[in-house]
Amino acid sequence: MKIVVLAGGISPERDVSLCSASLISNALLSKGHEVAFVDVYTGLEDTTDLKSAFATKESGKTYSYKIPETEPDLEALIASHGGRRELIGPGVLDLCRMADAVFIGCHGGMGENGRLQAVLDCIDVPYTGSGYLGCALAMDKHLSKTLLTHFNIPTAEWVLFDPSKDSIDTIREKLGFPCVVKPIGCGSSCGVSIVHDESEWNAAIDYSTKYENVCLVEKMVHGREFSIGVLDGEALPIIEIRPKQGFYDYKNKYQADATEEICPAPLSAEKTKEAQGLAVAVHRALGLGNYSRVDFILSEEDDKFYCLEANNLPGMTPNSLIPQEARAAGIEYEDLCEKLVLSASKKV
């Protein structure tokens, strides 16, 4: 197959995407596919022969990218490309038209909120993951939590907070402290803070609004954190996440040895079945595609699983969770990547 792997973009999760997509590309090359790795934002500015963008196993080409400890400077990236703010770079869509399928290796931004999926639908190109509607629902934390509540899937109490209109009094009255402040539509813990008391409030709001003007503020649920992949409608083995310091933030997610990850998670058979059932229920409620990952907290207060969020394009980095869970189910990384792209189809 000819496969385009899309990565990067103008997203706070750009670096995570470039790392994921590099590994995906290497895996697909090792399986004998023709692969074109391209940054969806920078595009193919210096390439006139698009066919030359496709590499083969025989070419010996490989890709690598190391995630820095801090989030990318997107304004500097845009400035380095003449201030261009178009989300899709030159040649990208023409390259996609040449492929049998597109593996979407983007995270955050248009790669995960449904806009890229809608564009690929418009040009009739098959792609991995969920369709545009499922992506939009999963990426908007307010909408997804509203849907989960409708389906009686437990999720932490929350309020929308607009710093230009709302007062901290709203948080005092409805949620109290500690609470969690996050942007509505970011992943990889970009913009997320745990606010233990009011002295930390302003810094948390400033960090969240660096990415979006409106914040989602959740009541803090104390307990153990778990993540569960869903592959072709079936739950994978559960992984427990134990950061060695702080919480599961951007640095702890992507720097080696920052977090202990245990798979299969040490849970009873009953709790394992319960959590996996909830993961599949979340996947279905949001209308997600051939794979996703759902994150939960097991509350130490009432022993219930609370859904934190669903990830419609889970990371595929060396430290990512879906590859670990798939391996525990007997699916090696290269086979997982090929399985996803072979099942890619036009989504509606």
The verdict on 143 and 212 lying in the same domain is no
pLDDT for residue 188: 54
Q: Is residue 58 part of a domain?
A: yes
Q: Is residue 204 domain-resident?
A: yes
pLDDT: is 76 or 250 the higher one?
76
Residue 347: inside a domain, yes or no? no
The whole-number pLDDT of residue 251 equals 47
Range of the domain at 211: 158-219
Residue 280 has pLDDT above 90, yes or no: yes
Confidence of residue 347 (pLDDT cuts 50, 70, 90): very low
Residues 164 and 45 in one domain: no
Kindly report which listed range (146-160, 178-192, 226-240, 332-346) carries the lowest average pLDDT score.
Answer: 178-192
Q: Is the pLDDT of residue 253 over 80?
A: no
Same domain, 204 and 167: yes
Instruction: State residue 256's pLDDT score.
Output: 52
pLDDT of 316 above 90? no
Instruction: For the chain, give the percent of residues with pLDDT over 70.
Output: 93
Determine which of 58-67, 84-93, 124-133 has the lowest per-residue pLDDT on average: 58-67
What pLDDT score was predicted for residue 94?
95
Same domain, 289 and 206: no
Average pLDDT of the segment spanning 282-305: 96
Over residues 327-348, mean pLDDT: 84
- The confidence score (pLDDT) of residue 249 equals 45
* Length in residues, the chain: 348
Q: 83 lies in a domain?
A: yes
Is position 172 within any domain?
Answer: yes
Examine the domain organization and report whether 178 and 252 are in the same domain: no
Domain count, the chain: 3
pTM here is 0.87
pLDDT at 209: 87
Which range has highest mean pLDDT (63-67, 141-145, 166-170, 181-185)? Answer: 141-145
Secondary structure in 3-state letters for the chain: CEEEEEECCCCCCHHHHHHHHHHHHHHHHHCCCEEEEEECCCCCCCCCCHHHHCECHHHCCCCCCCCCCCCCCHHHHHHHCCCCCCCCCCCHHHHHHCCCEEEECCCCHHHHCCHHHHHHHHCCCCECCCCHHHHHHHHCHHHHHHHHHHCCCCECCEEEECCCCCCHHHHHHHCCCCEEEEECCCCCCCCCEEECCHHHHHHHHHHHCCCCCCEEEEECCCEEEEEEEEECCEECCCEEEEECCCCCCHHHHHCCCCEEEECCCCCCHHHHHHHHHHHHHHHHHCCCCCEEEEEEEEECCCCCEEEEEEECCCCCCCCCHHHHHHHHCCCCHHHHHHHHHHCCECCC
Q: pLDDT by residue (tens digit) across 254-275?
A: 455 667 899 999 999 999 999 9
Q: According to the model, what pLDDT value does residue 248 have?
A: 46
What does the pLDDT average to over 157-169?
91
Picking from 200, 219, 238, the residue at the C-terminal end of a domain is 219
Domain of residue 121, CATH code: 3.40.50.20
Q: What is d(CA 185, CA 174) in angstroms, rounded to the nearest whole number?
A: 22
Worst-scoring range by mean pLDDT, 42-56, 71-85, 110-124, 156-170?
Answer: 42-56
Whether residue 285 is predicted with pLDDT greater than 70 in this model: the reply is yes
The pLDDT value recorded for residue 245 is: 60
Residue 345 has pLDDT above 60, yes or no: no
Same domain, residue pair 17 and 110: yes
| Per-residue pLDDT reduced to its tens digit, 45-81 | 777 789 999 999 999 899 988 888 888 899 999 999 9
Query: Tens digit of pLDDT for each residue in 89-114?
Result: 999 999 999 999 999 999 888 999 99
Q: What is the mean pLDDT of residues 315-343?
A: 90
Give the closest residue to 305 by CA, choosing from 249, 221, 230, 242.
221
Are residues 105 and 215 part of one domain? no
The Cα–Cα gap between 262 and 324 comes to 9
- Does residue 281 sit within a domain? yes
| Nearest to 231, CA basis, from 310, 173, 292 | 292
